[in-house]
Amino acid sequence: LEARSSSRRDRCFSPGLDAGEGICQPSLESSGKSPGESRGGTGRYHSNSPSLAISALVPQTPGNAEVLPSENQPSKGGSNSDRTTTRSVATSGRVACLRQHYAGKGLSGEAADLLLSSLRHKTSQSYDSLCRKWISWCTEQQADPISGPIEDIVNFLAQLYKEGYQYRSLNAYRSAISSMHTPIEGQSIGQHPLVSRLLKGAFQTCPPLPRYQSTWDLSLKGYRNTPEGAVFIPTALAKQSRPGRVFNEFFFPKFSGDDNLCPVKSLNLFIERTREIRGSTDQLFISFIKPHQAVTSSTIARWLKQIMEAAGIDTSVFKAHSVRGASTSAAAVQGVTTKDVLNAADWSTDLSF
């Protein structure tokens, strides 16, 4: 279990953990930052490309929409009819753009509905959020967001990288743009050699760090002994930690039937016997070999494997990680509800086991 490091927009990573600030931008999220400087006079709209109108489905906000050059502001490579029809271009959503594109191709509304239903609802929502930034950038650059040249897409992704977006976020934008852009040179946007090479360059220049970089374990700082049992409150971020989610405490009830089988009695005895050799470490599990340092997850896995072997379990087939699935399945067989199992393990879904 590892805790995630924080990151900044300049791609520099700070050593501390901060659940409130500096959290790396999720892959499927749109940024509120405005795109880079506009490349004036490089219009690429053509008479056979449908223009983008202000969509009633997408609210227009200041700074996100720009009027393209009118007849008095000629644009390179564009005809008068192009400039007239694109004069009111503004930031719109992916679905609205695609509907206009399909209508321009002569497709019926029913056909457009089916085409737009090819993506799952949540995927479509995520792509809509990302494509809004892509369409806004195209509006500023006077570029076609649906059938423009590959250079526009490469430049857009490079601009995101310059703004501090990491490899995973660039990949998400690539997928989103590919969902609305027509193929180029017979290849989808996501598979185009230039796009693939740019993302590889972003990976090599600023490789993504592991999702979690520091480990945590049950700490004596979070331990509390109660008449009912033992309580542990995690003192650091866990794997499933995220903003707005309160991490549950772990409670181990006493077993009054047999002291030899009571986990709380064994726990208190372990803490008492390791007190003098523990030193300054607060981690619960320490090595019984000098200098008695805090053990790693691999050591705990080896201990579990030894216990499994003593119980007659074939450890050539079942590993330490199988304890999780076996314990939860056994609890379910004994009549423990799924809700109680999820609460005990602090899981959000039963797909975890």
E strand spans, the chain = 2-3, 214-215, 223-225, 229-232, 250-253
Q: Any idea what the Cα angle at residue 7 is, between residues 6 and 8, rounded to 5°?
A: 135
Kindly state the tokens that stand for 231.
């309580």
pLDDT tens digit at each of 353 positions of the chain = 444 444 444 444 444 334 333 334 444 444 444 333 433 434 444 434 443 333 333 333 333 333 333 333 333 334 443 433 333 333 458 888 888 888 888 888 888 888 888 777 777 777 888 888 999 999 999 999 988 999 999 999 999 999 988 888 898 999 999 888 988 888 888 889 999 999 999 888 887 765 444 444 566 777 777 888 888 776 654 554 444 444 566 777 888 778 888 988 888 888 888 888 887 787 888 888 888 888 888 888 888 888 888 888 888 888 777 777 777 777 777 787 877 777 666 666 665 55
Burial class for 258, CB neighbours closer than 10 Å (0-12, 13-18, 19+) = exposed
One-letter amino acid of 218 = L
- For the chain, what are the domain ranges? 22-205
User: pTM for the full model?
Assistant: 0.38
Nearest partner of 154 among 121, 125, 192, judged by Cα: 192
Whose tokens are 């450890």? That residue is 315
Those residues with Cβ within 8 angstroms of residue 17's Cβ, 6 or more apart along the chain or in another chain:
3, 4, 5, 6, 214, 236, 237
Can you spell out the DSSP letters for 66-134?
-PPP-TTS--TT--HHHHHHTTT-----HHHHHHHHHHHTT--HHHHHHHHTTS-HHHHHHHHHHHHHH
Cβ-contact 17, 237 below 8 angstroms: yes
What is the C-alpha separation between 278 and 284, in angstroms, rounded?
9
What is the C-alpha separation between 193 and 177, in angstroms, rounded?
15
